[in-house]
Amino acid sequence: MRTIVDAKKIKKVYGTKGNVFTALDNIDLEVQEGEFVGIMGPSGAGKSTLLNVLATIDQPTSGDINIDGTSIVNMNEEQLAAFRSDKLGFIFQDYNLLDTLTVKENIILPLALAKVDPNELEHRVLEVANKFGISPILDKYPYQISGGQKQRTAVSRAIISKPSLLLADEPTGALDSKSATDLLESLKGLSEVDKATILLVTHDAFAASYCDRVIFIKDGKMFTELVKGKGSRKEFFQKVLDVLSALGGGQSDSI
């Protein structure tokens, strides 16, 4: 099995002498192709910092990060931009759709910018739209569709370029329970059927229960890890709740 994420001794320090905050403290993380991995922890634990570092949005202070066999820590901005475009897909809580574009145009935007052949564009957009049940709304604009449809559009846009790694930051945060469940089922399907590799930052135990395993961070350090194994999602959900209780809750963090 191919290793998609191989991060070793990741450290992220903010501030200068006398006023230093360590957001990540020697984090090791390995994720295999097709794994659906959750990242959880209390407010300020460093969940979003870890995601941002892996997403090349932020640079680690020290350590090494290999994504799909490529080290990303010494790349310049131009190289990082090309790497993000080619290897990474992003799903955000607030969708980040362009209101002036139709659903279809939003989805194909990454490929259009990469100057992919129009016939290939058409094939890929229909493929992902069918997968996420949004074929009937391809000609609508974001203001004409529901939150759940917006998020499924955002996921379609994230996966249309077939990225090596899909990074999701609280993707169910703005959704009602049915839309959240639909999205999580879709992500689980991407992992199982299409071998998509997904990293999900969430404070929600229900969302985390769809993952193959969940990594818990506290004070910038690895706290523990849960592996779902052969048990049911309901059993895994309870185990996640138990760890969150031991951690002192799992609220959304801003770090």
184 domain-assigned:
yes
Residue among 159, 162, 155, 214 nearest 184 (CA):
155
Which pLDDT belongs to residue 39?
Answer: 96
Residue 186: is its pLDDT beyond 80?
yes
Q: What is the phi/psi pair of residue 201, to 5°? A: -90, 125
> Two tokens at 68?
């799909």
Query: Is residue 158 scored above 60 in pLDDT?
Result: yes
Per the domain annotation, does 188 fall within a domain?
yes
* Cβ partners under 8 Å of residue 162, min gap 6: none
The burial of 185, by beta-carbon neighbours within 10 Å (0-12 exposed, 13-18 middle, 19 or more buried), is given as exposed
124 occurs within a structural domain: yes
- Is residue 219 one of the residues assigned to a domain? no
* CATH number of domain containing 159: 3.40.50.300
- State which residues form the domain around 40: 27-58+74-211+225-247
- The total number of structural domains in the chain stands at 1
Residue 9 lies in a domain: no
Average pLDDT, the chain: 91
Supply the pLDDT for residue 249. 52
Percent of the chain with pLDDT over 90: 74
- Among 37-41, 108-112, 205-209, 222-226, where is mean pLDDT lowest? 108-112
The answer to the question of residue 4 being in a domain is no
> Does residue 148 lie in a domain region?
yes
CA distance 206 to 90: 21
Query: What is the structure's pLDDT at 252?
Result: 40
Task: Please give the angle made by the CA atoms of 150, 152 and 156, to the nearest 5 degrees.
Answer: 115
Integer Cα distance of 128 and 26 in angstroms: 38
Whether the per-residue pLDDT at 253 is higher than 70: the answer is no
The reply to whether 99 falls in a domain is yes
CB 18 within 8 A of CB 12: no
- Looking at per-residue pLDDT, the higher value among 189 and 116 belongs to 189
Q: Which of 89, 90, 88, 93 is nearest to 179 (CA)?
A: 93
Q: Are 71 and 64 in contact (CB under 8 A)?
A: yes
Q: What is the pTM of this model?
A: 0.90
pLDDT in tens, 63-104: 999 999 999 998 999 999 889 988 999 998 888 899 999 999
